[in-house]
Structure 1
């Protein structure tokens, strides 16, 4: 996996799907609170005046010289749970995010959120 510090350096770079279709621009990195490893990124998508941030898992992601390639198709990502540009993913929304990508969800330590923005 990528060190969270390095991924933050990619903020504003494009995020592409396996077919090299541009999904959007990397906005933020979220780490797994149990491991402190990068787990998801938010990607800025939409049109001028109607932007939102969608969550994309980093599982299987690779870095190219000019982009981060995720293993998920653009259509699946576009339909993923999202937040406003100044929004926050709530603890109650986390299980739905993992379910969208067919990923197993468990909380961190008892009652602790699974994702934290870094």
Structure 2
């Protein structure tokens, strides 16, 4: 996995699926609060007047010149849980983000949330 500092440099670059279809633009990085490692990113999608941010796992992601290629297809990402461009992910919505991609979800040992925006 790449370091959080490195992926931050990719903000504003295209996000593509494994078939190289453009999904949107990388907006932010979310780290696992237990490890401080990047696990999700938000991608800006939608029409110019109706943008929203969808969540996508960074597992098996790869960077290329000007893009971030993810291991999920465009349709699955576009159907993922989303927030408004000025919104925030609520703690009670984290489980749905993980479930959408078939990933296990577990709160922190003290009941704290799992994801933090960086």
Q: Please confirm whether the aligned pair reaches a TM-score higher than 0.5, indicating the same fold.
A: yes
Any unmatched runs of 5+ in structure 1?
none
- The count of corresponding residues between Structure 1 and Structure 2 is 118
Per-residue deviation, 1:66 = 1.8
Q: TM-score, normalised by structure 1?
A: 0.98
In the aligned structure 2, how far is the partner of 1:56 from the partner of 1:109?
24
CA contact (8 A) 1:28 1:42 kept: yes
CA deviation profile, 1:73-99 (whole Å, cap 9, x unmatched): 000000000000000010100001100
Q: CA deviation at 1:109?
A: 2.8
Runs of 4+ in 1 over 6 A off after TM superposition: none
Aligned to 1:104: 104
Q: What TM-score comes out, normalization by structure 2 length? A: 0.98
Which residue matches 1:42?
Answer: 42
Structure 2 unaligned runs (5+)? none
